[in-house]
Structure 1
Amino acid sequence: MSPAHGFNSWKLFASIVVLSFTNIVQQGWTKSVSSDGFPLTLIHINDLHARSTAPIVCVRNRFDETSQKSSDCTNKAECIAGIARVYHTIKKLKDEYKAKNPLYLNAGDNFQGTLWYNLLRWNVTAHLIKKLSPDVMTLGNHEFDHSPKGLAPYLAELEKLNIPTVVANLQMNGEPDLKSAKIKSSVVLNVGDRKVGIIGALYDRTHLVAQTGKVTLSNSIDAVREEAKKLKQQKVNIIVVLSHCGLDVDKQLANEAGDLIDVIVGAHSHSLLLNKNAKVPYDTKYDKIEGDYPIVVVKNNNHKVLVTQARSYGKYVGRLTVYFDKN
């Protein structure tokens, strides 16, 4: 399914939520005036990189607050992010958009980057993911930093929590440590009276930057196309890609598979997408803006694919609301 043809017949609300010390600011963007159709709200976060709960001097603790420069937070007046703000913001957005079918998505790279992670590995990450409770997750390349053996207990914990993990281009048949892992290519969620397909994708050169063992990765774009075709055959006509491939690949994916998909929720490149008129509570010179939120890719048949990403380290939470027609 796609947003109805033409900007005049579909409506989009988009915002990046900035997690500041004193407030939470949203900057929305609306196209068209019609709210007819089925609303879907995607609340998303990516590349948390194990930022934890208690401040530690001289240690970057990435579920904790961070500075505007993404380093240690020493001046409380300038602190942003932190797991408490992330939790509060996601809950607030779910409540605010309850009537617009909210889904919370985590786009991977929850591992690596702090002393807490080095000491506790997957345990601390799983505990905090449990608190945030995403509807669907994908994996990032850093989830393989300590081999499939280091990833396996984390996946088992997510399964206990009934949090589905999706990666369409991952083949685990030859990896004994992941023989019990329940990673799917996609999941179909019943949202309101509609079916929403979520396809996962991981950077297909992860084996060059992490310890993937006997896990192999196929071309992410080809894998997404094939999985989207299967979902279409199942009469699933709203398709979201949860991608840990980076912004450049996501834009390529929108161009090459855009006839089959509707939204790409991205990660990996730590890209900040922000509208030019957005108001944020601190100087974004520390966070290079790489495009509008969302980037809109228009296909030849006027089908529009929306590409999003929300920087990294819990500094931003993305929120996108799209209205879909019945087709």
Structure 2
Amino acid sequence: MEELKSLNRRTFIKQSFALGAVAAFGTLPLDVLATDKQVRLTILHTNDVHSRIEPFPLDGSRHQGLGGVARRSTLINSIRKTEKNVLLLDAGDMFQGTPYFNMFEGKLELELMSKLGYDAGTFGNHEFDNGIQGLAKHLHIANFPFLTANYDFTGTLLEGKTKEYLIIEKGGLRVGLTGVGIDVEGLVDPNSHRGMTYLDPIPVVNRVAKFLKEEKKCDLVICLSHLGYAYEDDKVSDLKLAASTRHVDIILGGHTHTFLDEPTRIKDLDGKEVWINQVGFAGIRLGRLDVVFNKATGKKNIVASQYTVDKQFDGLVNV
């Protein structure tokens, strides 16, 4: 019977994505979770958009017709009309992948993300494709911060232009955010990251997350990660990060372009559950986590869902 339930669930997920619908995963339906004693925080997230401004062309390829910033804007705006407390986050590699990056050097991506109302992001390795100088040149266009706790930019043009953490208050909740990136050695030209020091993300996240939870009294700690979902070797991944840290509630990942049909749950060093999610690449999907806090007990429930960004979201938008 259990196998039948699992099969039906997978079939439902597959059909939902094919229709561009939202598929939800959790223990309780969202309408049940919302009560007067509870606050719901809606977290929307992307990763590895790779300068995919327009949808994939209708050329018979695997992802033809999917994605597009205008569609994502329509979807995000519709969610904001129905939800009071919304965060929009990105886990890196916003640059590189289409001629838009070659032509505008990242300016267009930063302008559009700002207009979409992103609250925070982190850097992926492709953010350094034009070097630290190229990134620093246009970073001021973004009206939201980039969180890079394990990149030390001391003595470079990026010194003081990123943050280790950010605290956002939504609906009376204190949400702490931090961000970590992959070691770019071997991924980009050495001259492109000259002067930047890479720090082991595990002790960094342990330190920052403890600070956010214990000293800053955050109700929720989110880590934006461009480490990658999982590896066969001992390289630090999102799975390894979750199992090796404390005080992190959610990891929103990138780099490996992993399409997770539902978040992975890993026990941290204290045996507490960490939710890990990643939504592929190129803006094909928009991830969503609805976190419901009970003000009286301090407990929380999470329901995960995601949207396929396709032609159903075509329409007039202001981006």
Q: Does 1:237 align with 2:213?
A: no
Alignment partner, residue 285 of structure 1: none
Kindly provide the CA deviation profile for residues 176-224 of structure 1, in whole angstroms up to 9, marking residues without a partner as x. Answer: x224x42111100011111100111111x11321221111110112111
Aligned partner of residue 135 in structure 2, secondary structure: helix
Kindly provide the CA deviation profile for residues 148-189 of structure 1, in whole angstroms up to 9, marking residues without a partner as x. Answer: 00000222211xx2x0111110101121x224x421111000
Aligned residues of 1:19 and 1:81 also touching (Cα < 8 A): no
Q: Does 1:220 align with 2:220?
A: no
Alignment partner, residue 280 of structure 1: none
Kindly provide the CA deviation profile for residues 284-327 of structure 1, in whole angstroms up to 9, marking residues without a partner as x. Answer: xxxxxxxxx11111347552110001100011000111223426
* Candidates 167, 180, 187, aligned match of 1:201: 180
Matched length: 268
Aligned residues of 1:103 and 1:135 also touching (Cα < 8 A): yes
Question: Which letter maps to 2:201?
Answer: S
Aligned partner of residue 288 in structure 2, secondary structure: strand
Aligned residues of 2:44 and 2:89 also touching (Cα < 8 A): yes
Q: Does 1:85 align with 2:80?
A: no
Give, in angstroms, the shift of residue 127 of structure 1: 2.2
Question: Which letter maps to 1:271?
Answer: T
Aligned partner of residue 81 in structure 1, secondary structure: coil
Residue ranges of structure 1 left out of the alignment (5+ in a row): 1-14, 52-62, 67-71, 275-292
Alignment partner, residue 24 of structure 1: 20
Question: Which letter maps to 2:164?
Answer: S
Aligned partner of residue 214 in structure 1, secondary structure: coil
* Candidates 82, 91, 94, aligned match of 1:110: 94
Distance 1:217 1:299 in 2: 24
Aligned residues of 2:111 and 2:141 also touching (Cα < 8 A): no
Aligned residues of 2:149 and 2:163 also touching (Cα < 8 A): yes
Q: Does 1:45 align with 2:46?
A: yes
Distance 2:288 2:242 in 1: 19
Give, in angstroms, the shift of residue 130 of structure 1: 2.3
Distance 1:299 1:201 in 2: 17
* Candidates 56, 65, 73, aligned match of 2:55: 65
Give, in angstroms, the shift of residue 45 of structure 1: 0.6
Q: Does 1:268 align with 2:255?
A: yes
Aligned partner of residue 88 in structure 1, secondary structure: helix
Kindly provide the CA deviation profile for residues 27-60 of structure 1, in whole angstroms up to 9, marking residues without a partner as x. Answer: 1122147736432211001111111xxxxxxxxx
Q: TM-score with structure 1 length normalisation?
A: 0.76
Alignment partner, residue 280 of structure 2: 311
Q: Percent identity?
A: 29
Question: Which letter maps to 1:245?
Answer: L
Aligned partner of residue 320 in structure 1, secondary structure: strand
Aligned residues of 1:19 and 1:80 also touching (Cα < 8 A): no
Aligned residues of 1:239 and 1:262 also touching (Cα < 8 A): yes
Kindly provide the CA deviation profile for residues 47-87 of structure 1, in whole angstroms up to 9, marking residues without a partner as x. Answer: 11111xxxxxxxxxxx1111xxxxx4336995111111111
Aligned partner of residue 130 in structure 1, secondary structure: helix
Alignment partner, residue 241 of structure 2: 253
Cα pair distance change 1:78/1:246, threshold 3 Å: closer
Aligned residues of 2:40 and 2:292 also touching (Cα < 8 A): yes
Residue ranges of structure 2 left out of the alignment (5+ in a row): 1-12, 231-236, 300-319
Aligned partner of residue 185 in structure 2, secondary structure: helix
Aligned residues of 2:243 and 2:269 also touching (Cα < 8 A): no
Give, in angstroms, the shift of residue 139 of structure 1: 1.0
Distance 1:32 1:304 in 2: 17
Aligned partner of residue 184 in structure 1, secondary structure: coil
Distance 1:219 1:300 in 2: 17
Runs of 4+ in 1 over 6 A off after TM superposition: none
Q: Does 1:94 align with 2:95?
A: no
Question: Which letter maps to 1:238?
Answer: L
Alignment partner, residue 130 of structure 2: 146
Question: Which letter maps to 1:235?
Answer: K
Give, in angstroms, the shift of residue 146 of structure 1: 1.2
RMSD in angstroms over aligned alpha carbons?
2.5
